[in-house]
Amino acid sequence: MSRMGMSSNDHQPKQQKPSLSRERVVAAAIAILDGEGENALTFRALAKSLSTGSGAIYWHVADKRTLLAAATEHVLSEAIAQSGRGTHPADAVRDVALGVFDVIEAHPWVGTELAREPWQPAMTTLFEKISAGFDAMGVPRSALFYCGSALVQYLLGFAAQAAAAARHDFQSQDRTEVLTTLVARWTQGEPADYPYVHLLADELRSHDEREAFLAGLDLILAGARNLQG
Amino acid sequence: MSRMGMSSNDHQPKQQKPSLSRERVVAAAIAILDGEGENALTFRALAKSLSTGSGAIYWHVADKRTLLAAATEHVLSEAIAQSGRGTHPADAVRDVALGVFDVIEAHPWVGTELAREPWQPAMTTLFEKISAGFDAMGVPRSALFYCGSALVQYLLGFAAQAAAAARHDFQSQDRTEVLTTLVARWTQGEPADYPYVHLLADELRSHDEREAFLAGLDLILAGARNLQG
DNA sequence: ACATGACTGGAACAGTGTTCCAATCTCCTG
DNA sequence: CAGGAGATTGGAACACTGTTCCAGTCATGT
């Protein structure tokens, strides 16, 4: 277990190899997650990337779960903190949600981690911001919690779905092939039994992820606006 | 790899131990998942529960991923197939969503699996039903796909969150303790910096899961109704 | 009867997160 | 400035996974 306390690793005199630190470990983990995918992050790979052993890593980080949480927090917190701009309250909420969207598009493993462990610290900040937005939109106090929860769950659902898609893309290196396979499974049933699925299959293949995300978001925002008064 | 084809295991003469089959393997897996939690499902535990070895299991099931998918499909498909009742179209959609809700409450591991692999076969049926509902509600064709996707993602988000909560409950055997810990982390920031989080902390502790689920659902339904015309 | 192929059980393998510990390195103190 | 105490390191070892392999067994059709 890592010991919290006075660590003195702020001076690497000449061209000594820089001493390990929690930040360096987290940064290396993020680099592996981004560059080689979620499955590539093992303590052995991490140790090699840092030219050390797994024991040394465990001195700075309790276990893999907290390492993943720290990595998620690192990329999420800044994005969320800087988001929330917008003249209208609804725009501010949209901006926060889009901040999360962009982070997940850039780092799909964040989606996996969010889907497994939704209540990361950064999510508290997110809940604060969107609650403020809903309040400014005129949502009554009694419904604020439900609105915030609903939006968070919508975000989590997108996170899960985007992360799963990215995992599949990563394996086959070919997004269109993955989509074709998905559409094929999608349209496996008889058109007579699944008319809407067949009707909308084209859209599944060609839809723009961000546009769909925003459309779903606007559904929730419109529903929230509807609670005014 | 398991061989598909003519399998002849439909007769166990007297009181012979019944022969293995894909269905029996899946049923045993579900029993372990329900009774002892997600982490308890290992091929060794499964083999012991079926009084056999792991090799025999692999004859009937390709790997753990497909086993989990089959288990999920088993509990999800029936619930979804039987759902969708309701005089008004919106009620039918609500009924489908509540079907998924109930399955996840009864088998939280379904939430984990759905969050990891959203496009199970049963989800196609679900998409079909909710698309039909949205259509009957008067949502224009051009928005049908977005509405369906949004609702699916909301469901996935609930699935992820409920599964994570259930995992924590399982570890500490004490729901209120888990909630207290969560609220504590939740209210860690300064009240001045996180006014809404502190304002709504009580609701986080005491809210009814089903009520919150339905409230969020109604947000989306209201948003969809708003697209009429 | 017996050969063929479906099926079984469990040993062996590769890879994981985690623990343990002897060695080192740093810094404070006598 | 010597040297000890504690912080930090690296890598071997451990326990546990999913998965593969394979020598057997069983059932059945000829």
Tell me the H-state helices in B53-107: 54-60, 64-82, 89-106
Select from B32, B61, B90 the last residue of a domain: B61
Q: Does residue B216 lie within any of the structural domains?
A: yes
Same domain, B124 and B198: yes
Same domain, B104 and B156: yes
CB contact under 8 A, B146 and A216: yes
Q: Is the pLDDT of residue A10 over 50?
A: no
Q: Identity (one letter) of the amino acid at A19?
A: S
Question: What is the tally of helices (H) and strands (E) in chain B?
Answer: 12, 0
Q: Is the pLDDT of residue B5 over 80?
A: no
Backbone dihedral angles phi then psi of residue A201, each to the nearest 5 degrees: -60, -40
Q: Is the pLDDT of residue B214 over 60?
A: yes
Question: What is the tally of helices (H) and strands (E) in chain A?
Answer: 12, 0
Same domain, B57 and B89: no
Q: Does residue B14 lie within any of the structural domains?
A: no
Residue A171 banded pLDDT, cuts 50, 70, 90: confident
Q: Does residue A169 lie within any of the structural domains?
A: yes
How confident is the model over A66-118, as pLDDT tens digits?
999 999 999 999 999 999 999 999 999 999 999 999 999 999 999 999 999 99
Closest nucleotide over all strands to B1 (CA to C1'): D20
Q: Is the pLDDT of residue B1 over 70?
A: no
Per the rule left: phi > 0, alpha: psi between -120 and 50, beta: everything else, B138 is left
Same domain, B131 and B47: no
Same domain, A32 and A133: no
CATH number for the domain harbouring residue B98 = 1.10.357.10
Tell me which of A63-67, B6-10, B64-68, B143-147 is least confident: B6-10
Same domain, A109 and A157: yes
Closest residue on chain B to A187 (Cα): B124
How confident is the model over B21-50, as pLDDT tens digits?
999 999 999 999 999 999 999 999 999 999
Q: Is the pLDDT of residue A185 over 70?
A: yes
Same domain, B141 and B38: no
CATH number for the domain harbouring residue A50 = 1.10.10.60
Q: Does residue B160 lie within any of the structural domains?
A: yes
Q: Does residue A75 lie within any of the structural domains?
A: no
Q: Are A212 and B149 in contact (CB under 8 A)?
A: yes
How confident is the model over A206-216, as pLDDT tens digits?
999 999 999 99
pLDDT at residue number B228 = 87
pLDDT at residue number A207 = 97
Using alpha carbons, list the distances in angstroms from residue B119 to B29, B114, B122, B124: 20, 8, 8, 7
Closest residue on chain B to A112 (Cα): B116
Q: Is the pLDDT of residue B222 over 50?
A: yes
Same domain, B85 and B183: yes
Nucleotides of D under 7 A from a protein CB: 7-13, 16-22, 27-28
How many domains would you assign to chain B?
2
How confident is the model over A119-168, as pLDDT tens digits?
999 999 999 999 999 999 999 999 999 999 999 999 999 999 999 999 99
Instruction: Name residues 6-45 of chain A with a Cβ under 7 Å from nucleic strand D.
Output: 7-9, 19-20
Same domain, B33 and B108: no
Q: Does residue B66 lie within any of the structural domains?
A: no
Average pLDDT value for chain A = 93
How confident is the model over A12-52, as pLDDT tens digits?
333 456 789 999 999 999 999 999 999 999 999 999 999 99
Owner of token pair 């902390």: B201
Same domain, A103 and A168: yes
How confident is the model over B136-163, as pLDDT tens digits?
999 999 999 999 999 999 999 999 999 9
Q: Does residue B152 lie within any of the structural domains?
A: yes
**What single string gives the DSSP state of each residue in B164-182?**
HHHHHHHHHS-HHHHHHHH
Which candidate, B92, B186, B51, places its Cα nearest to that of A152?
A: B186
Residue B12 banded pLDDT, cuts 50, 70, 90: very low
CB contact under 8 A, B153 and A161: yes
As to burial, measured by CB atoms within 10 angstroms (0-12 exposed, 13-18 middle, 19+ buried), residue B129 is buried
Q: Which residues of B49-69 are buried (b: 16+ CB within 10 A; e: fewer)?
A: bbebeeeebbebbeeeeebbb
CA of B16 to C1' of D22 (A): 26
Average pLDDT over residues B11-24: 70
Q: Is the pLDDT of residue A172 over 90?
A: no
pLDDT more than 90, % of chain A: 88
pLDDT more than 90, % of chain B: 88
pLDDT at residue number B171 = 87
pLDDT at residue number A17 = 62
Most confident of A13-17, B15-19, B133-137: B133-137
Chain B hits for A207, Cβ within 8 Å: 145, 149
Same domain, A115 and A211: yes
- Higher pLDDT among residues B151 and B3, named by residue: B151
Q: Does residue B83 lie within any of the structural domains?
A: yes
Say how far apart CA A167 and CA A184 lie, in whole Å.
18
Same domain, B53 and B88: no
CB contact under 8 A, A161 and B118: yes
Domain encompassing residue B27: 22-61
Q: Are A2 and A58 in contact (CB under 8 A)?
A: yes
Residue A98: count other Cβ atoms within 10 Å of its Cβ. Answer: 16
| Strand C reaches within 7 A of the A14 CB | no
Residue B16 banded pLDDT, cuts 50, 70, 90: low
